[in-house]
């Protein structure tokens, strides 16, 4: 009698055929960034500090030395930082799709093809809000990815990824779709595909395939307490990615639809008070003056139940629907107002640039703060030198009323660690923030000027 495990394994899909077919479209991407020369007295004390700053020992304990590529000099005093990522070919004449964070701030971009050719790449366009970048190499007759439909994915369906984790190019991993339409942190325009496909540093920008060999997503994020894979990965749906590609090809930038509302989820108690059977919909907390929402008659206190015929199951579901709507299109909305359902029609406007690029004032107007009442951003090169933070961390841009203010956060703080988990960037910080408990206080390590301190934080404070 065959063992039970063998019987189970015999029923698993055979990935070999699809892997052989799709591997040629996957590429390895390496980048080089040149950092400004550091003055000797401003150099971060990673290995030989004077011991006066307690941050030095903490940094060495949790971060260790910098990667060799980041320590390598070019002979002129500048530091050269190299990074690795993945991508895939979407046109036979050399267009390549990857994550924006893979090539951000790159001085040089190099693409290695499956046939071992190494080619320089130029950037055709980027879209930071969706974390996408379109590259171009000088080549013809390249194999091209078959584009699938992420909308047809079902939870539990097998998917596989091919990329360059830790620089090991064309590595294959497989798993299932864990959930769809995930909102993670501030990335409100991307309804992520959640999978349990093992994804690690270097997989970013690589394709997520279905068993027909079609690209259904772009591997972009992991949720991790260690920096490595822990069973939860996120991919950008290919449908959204190709909409971005089309605009980058035509215009070099992306224009998004704009409604002009500040929204929140309904609590169960509030849903019951409105005679809703479940807490669904997006509660309008405020309306931007002279916005499309204001012109359509949307008011604070309304609950948006449907948008363009699609159900709005939560406040996180609305921004991707609006953002992907063509500017100028008239869209029907179903709202709940004073216990009655009403139909409104709104003509979608253009999302203002400062709603994306200025997380401070724009956040207060357009609801881009996280649940803690905190707006954060990546650190600039100058800030990294000033605070002696070479990797990771986020800068507190603004603090409004909420748990973060009660915990003592200030504008200008650099957040380094949440409950023992190193903060690698703003996406991961907001994901960590969303996991905090309202009943348990956790320590948050913050760099403030020359001081390093822990702030006691509890969601809901």
Q: Which residues are catalytic?
A: 101, 131, 204
Structure tokens at 136: 């171009």
Exposure string for 17-50, b = 16+ CB within 10 A, e = fewer = ebbeebebbbbbbbbebebeebeeeeebbbeebe
Give the strand pairing for 95-99 and 79-89: antiparallel
The H or E element spanning position 414 is strand 414-418
Q: In this structure, how many other beta carbons lie within 10 angstroms of the beta carbon of residue 152?
A: 11
Distance (Å, whole) CA 127 – CA 254: 7
Contact by Cβ (8 Å): 312, 306: yes
Alpha helices in 367-402 (DSSP H): 381-387
Distance (Å, whole) CA 141 – CA 332: 45
Contact by Cβ (8 Å): 176, 159: yes
Residue 188's closest CA among 426, 447, 384?
Answer: 426
List Cα–Cα distances, 441 to 321, 376, 403, in angstroms: 35, 20, 11
Distance (Å, whole) CA 277 – CA 275: 6
Alpha helices in 262-395 (DSSP H): 268-273, 292-296, 318-323, 354-357, 361-366, 381-387
Torsion of CA 353, 106, 160, 153, to 10 degrees: 10
Residue 203's closest CA among 353, 28, 49?
Answer: 28
Structure tokens at 444: 């948050």
Phi, psi dihedrals of residue 65, rounded to the nearest 5°: -75, 160
Contact by Cβ (8 Å): 318, 265: no
Distance (Å, whole) CA 328 – CA 346: 9
CA atoms within 13 A on the CB side of 106: 25
């Amino acid at each position: 009698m065959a063992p039970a495990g063998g019987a189970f394994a015999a029923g698993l899909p055979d990935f070999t055929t699809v892997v052989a077919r799709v591997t040629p479209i996957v590429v390895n991407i390496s980048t080089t960034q040149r950092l400004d020369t550091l003055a000797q007295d401003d150099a971060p004390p990673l290995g030989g500090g004077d011991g006066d700053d307690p941050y030095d020992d903490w940094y060495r304990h949790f971060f260790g030395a910098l990667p060799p590529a980041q320590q390598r000099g070019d002979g002129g005093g500048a530091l050269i930082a190299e990074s690795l990522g993945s991508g895939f070919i979407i046109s036979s004449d050399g267009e390549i799709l990857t994550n924006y964070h893979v090539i951000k701030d790159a001085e040089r971009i190099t693409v290695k093809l499956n046939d071992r050719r190494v080619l320089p790449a130029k950037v055709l366009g980027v879209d930071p809000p969706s974390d996408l970048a379109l590259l171009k190499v000088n080549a013809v007759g390249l194999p091209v990815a078959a584009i699938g439909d992420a909308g047809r994915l079902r939870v539990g369906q097998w998917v596989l990824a091919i990329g360059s984790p830790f620089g090991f190019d064309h590595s294959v991993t497989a798993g299932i779709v864990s959930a769809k339409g995930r909102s993670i942190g501030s990335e409100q325009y991307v309804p992520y595909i959640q999978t349990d496909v093992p994804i690690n540093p270097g997989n970013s920008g690589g394709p997520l395939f279905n068993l027909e060999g079609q690209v259904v997503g772009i591997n972009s994020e992991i949720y991790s307490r260690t920096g490595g894979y822990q069973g939860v990965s996120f991919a950008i749906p290919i449908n959204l990615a190709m909409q971005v590609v089309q605009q980058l090809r035509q215009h070099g930038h992306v224009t998004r639809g704009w409604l002009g509302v500040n929204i929140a989820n309904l609590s169960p108690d509030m849903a019951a008070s409105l005679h809703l059977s479940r807490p669904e919909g997006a509660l309008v907390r405020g309306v931007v003056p002279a916005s499309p929402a204001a012109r359509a008659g949307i008011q604070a206190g309304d609950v948006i139940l449907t948008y363009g015929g699609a159900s709005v199951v939560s406040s996180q579901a609305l921004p991707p629907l609006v953002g992907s709507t063509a500017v100028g299109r008239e869209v029907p909305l179903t709202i709940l107002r004073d216990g009655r359902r009403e139909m409104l029609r709104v003509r979608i406007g253009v999302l203002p640039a400062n709603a994306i690029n200025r997380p401070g004032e724009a956040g207060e107007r357009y609801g881009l703060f996280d649940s803690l009442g905190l707006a954060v951003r990546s650190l600039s090169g100058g800030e990294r030198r000033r605070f002696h933070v070479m990797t990771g961390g986020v800068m507190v841009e603004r603090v409004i009323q909420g748990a973060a203010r009660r915990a003592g956060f200030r504008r200008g703080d650099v957040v380094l660690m949440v409950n023992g988990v190193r903060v690698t960037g703003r996406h991961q910080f907001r994901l960590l923030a969303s996991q905090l408990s309202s009943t348990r206080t956790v320590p948050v390590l913050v760099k403030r000027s020359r001081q390093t301190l822990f702030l006691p934080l509890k969601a809901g404070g």
